[in-house]
């Protein structure tokens, strides 16, 4: 079945542009209530980030769920992974997150979690879409759902995060700058770190509904870099608007991305040894080589945490993630969690008495060049013999020291031409040559 609304991570778009409208959210709440909570007697959580449209969509979803006979627990601003955790521990039938993650405030979206705190499988999303095509019918008045607010939601999640830090360690003497992206972690991330003993300097924790992700957070770490150096901090933590991504900064102000953080977490001594790590098609080849030197296997999934999670389950592994900082530690929780991932890195720093810069030094990132080439509506990239020949020639030149990837965009008529290797000049040249071949093939 072709899905009309759900993408790789829920439903997302511009506020006011269908389907990110109040009337659609009303119907979506009703449809989700019928499928996820089986109508009368069920219970669904709703959390949101700090963007202004969250108030509107929270009310619409609440009304739709109540119309389906489902009770609602309102969490208020809460990180996406916190909603996953609370869905599980409060024994709800499902959890809903109103967020567009790292996007600006003019976007919004909906993510769903099942009763066990996991992302919904395709068949459940398809069932919700099937309900959306039906006329909306209310349950009898006596069976309408009720709503109440969970007043201690933040405290519950803070305690959960702290429980995932090694009990034999603390953060006393560690100075941390944390950037909350003016998003959903603003009231929980600083508390987690302080209660573990750290000295914490906070930025990006004054949300006004419009400043989420604006020049801050994991997508804009420049201010964090400056503050880490200015404050003489040991490390910086940058989260995104809904708290499921993590980028860090070492004491020298250098950005440490998701690939490097995965390496740091994976390389920690443990028994039994970590069998493998899942990355994506965009994960840096330097991480793959560094992990294999440690005897840790590595496989690539499609881009998106949904596909990383699928590969983890297929392999029976616990650690995976993306260069963007979406890291999944299944030994700790059920979904990507920026705070918990940061605690794994901080635990490694304290446990080994090393700086983040020292911990990441075993991995050398390979130079990477990415060029976007616009495609015509009817152009079939895979059918072009000229493009295939150019890719083969580039791969032969790189041999084992690099790789080539032509990846169509999922949202625009573009192909992303990516070349990666040890030699930066060679990488740039091959990327330009490949992009030119694709452009000529499209034009001719």
| Tens of pLDDT, residues 180-207 | 999 999 999 999 999 999 999 999 999 9
Strands (DSSP E) contained in 180-227 are 199-203
Q: Are 85 and 160 in contact, with CB atoms under 8 Å apart?
A: yes
Total number of domains constituting the chain: 3
- Provide the pLDDT for residue 391: 95
Q: What is the pLDDT of residues 21-39, one digit of tens each?
A: 999 999 999 999 999 987 6
Alpha helix stretches (DSSP H) within 196-246: 222-231
Cβ atoms < 10 Å from Cβ of 309: 20
In a shared domain, residues 239 and 343: yes
What number is the average pLDDT over the span 245-251? 98
Domain with residue 60: its CATH number is: 3.40.120.10
Q: What is the pLDDT of residue 2?
A: 63
pTM listed for this prediction = 0.93
Q: Check pLDDT > 70 for residue 359.
A: yes
Whether residue 371 contacts residue 406, with contact meaning beta carbons closer than 8 Å, is answered with no
Q: Is the pLDDT of residue 1 over 60?
A: no
The answer, yes or no, to whether residue 377 has pLDDT greater than 70, is no
In a domain, 2, yes or no: no
User: What are residue 128's phi and psi, to 5 degrees?
Assistant: -65, -45
Residue 38 pLDDT:
79
Beta strand 368-374 with 414-421 is antiparallel
pLDDT tier at 66, thresholds 50, 70, 90: very high
Among 339, 360, 381, the domain-final residue is 360
Domain final residue, candidates 112, 130, 151 = 151
Residues 403 and 302 in one domain: no
The set of catalytic residues is 101
Closest among 86, 94, 87 to 64, alpha carbons compared: 94
Q: How far is 189 from 161, CA to CA, in rounded Å?
A: 9
Domain-located, residue 136:
yes
Question: Do both 266 and 413 map to the same domain?
Answer: no
Q: Which domain holds residue 429?
A: 368-443
Q: Can you give the pLDDT at residue 383?
A: 83
Residue pLDDT, tens place only, 391-428 = 999 999 999 889 999 988 766 788 899 999 999 999 99
Confidence label for 267 from pLDDT (cuts 50, 70 and 90): very high
| pLDDT value of position 382 | 79
Question: Domain with 380 in it: what CATH number?
Answer: 3.30.310.50
pLDDT at residue 213, rounded to an integer: 97
Residue where a domain terminates, one of 151, 166, 196: 151
Q: How far is CA 203 from the centre of its chain?
A: 21
CA dist., res. 108 & res. 106, Å (int): 7
Mean pLDDT confidence for 129-157: 96
Q: 221 and 194 in one domain?
A: yes
Percent of the chain exceeding pLDDT 90 equals: 88
Q: State the average pLDDT for the chain.
A: 94
């Amino acid at each position: 079945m072709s899905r009309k609304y759900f993408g790789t991570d829920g439903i997302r778009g511009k506020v006011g542009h269908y389907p990110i409208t109040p009337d659609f959210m009303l119907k979506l709440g009703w449809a989700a209530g019928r499928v996820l909570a089986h109508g009368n007697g069920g219970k669904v959580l709703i959390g949101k980030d700090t963007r202004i449209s969250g108030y509107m969509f929270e009310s619409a979803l609440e009304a739709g769920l109540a119309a389906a006979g489902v009770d609602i627990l309102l969490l208020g601003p809460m990180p996406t992974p916190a909603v996953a955790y609370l869905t599980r521990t409060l024994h709800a039938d499902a959890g809903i997150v109103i967020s567009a993650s790292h996007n600006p405030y003019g976007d919004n979206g909906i993510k769903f979690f099942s009763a066990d705190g996991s992302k919904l499988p395709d068949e459940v999303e398809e069932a919700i879409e099937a309900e959306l095509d039906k006329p909306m019918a209310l349950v009898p008045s006596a069976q309408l759902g009720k709503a109440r607010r969970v007043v201690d939601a933040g405290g519950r999640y803070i305690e959960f995060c702290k429980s995932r830090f090694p009990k034999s360690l603390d953060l006393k003497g560690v100075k941390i700058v944390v950037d909350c992206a003016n998003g959903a972690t603003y009231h929980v991330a600083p508390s987690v770190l302080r209660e573990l003993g750290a000295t914490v300097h906070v930025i990006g924790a004054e949300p006004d509904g419009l400043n989420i992700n604006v020049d801050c957070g994991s997508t804009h770490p420049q201010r964090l870099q400056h503050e880490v150096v200015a404050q003489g901090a040991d490390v910086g933590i940058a989260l995104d608007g809904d708290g499921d991504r993590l980028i860090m900064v070492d004491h020298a102000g250098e950005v440490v991305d998701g690939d490097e953080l995965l390496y740091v977490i994976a390389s920690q001594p443990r028994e039994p040894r970590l069998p493998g790590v899942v990355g994506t098609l965009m994960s840096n080849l330097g991480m793959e080589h560094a992990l294999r030197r440690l005897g840790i296997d590595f496989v690539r999934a499609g881009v998106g945490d949904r596909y990383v999670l699928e590969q983890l389950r297929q392999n029976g592994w616990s650690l995976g993630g993306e260069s963007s900082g979406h890291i999944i530690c299944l030994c700790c929780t059920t979904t990507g969690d920026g705070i918990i991932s940061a605690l794994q890195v901080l635990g490694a720093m304290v446990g080994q008495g090393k700086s983040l810069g020292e911990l990441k030094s075993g991995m050398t990132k390979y130079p990477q060049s990415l060029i976007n080439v616009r495609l015509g509506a009817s152009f079939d990239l895979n059918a072009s013999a000229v493009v295939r020949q150019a890719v083969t020639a580039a791969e032969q030149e790189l041999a084992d020291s690099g790789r080539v990837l032509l990846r169509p965009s999922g949202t625009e008529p573009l192909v992303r031409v990516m070349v990666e290797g040890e030699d930066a000049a060679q990488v740039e040249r091959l990327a330009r040559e490949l992009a030119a071949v694709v452009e000529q093939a499209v034009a001719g």
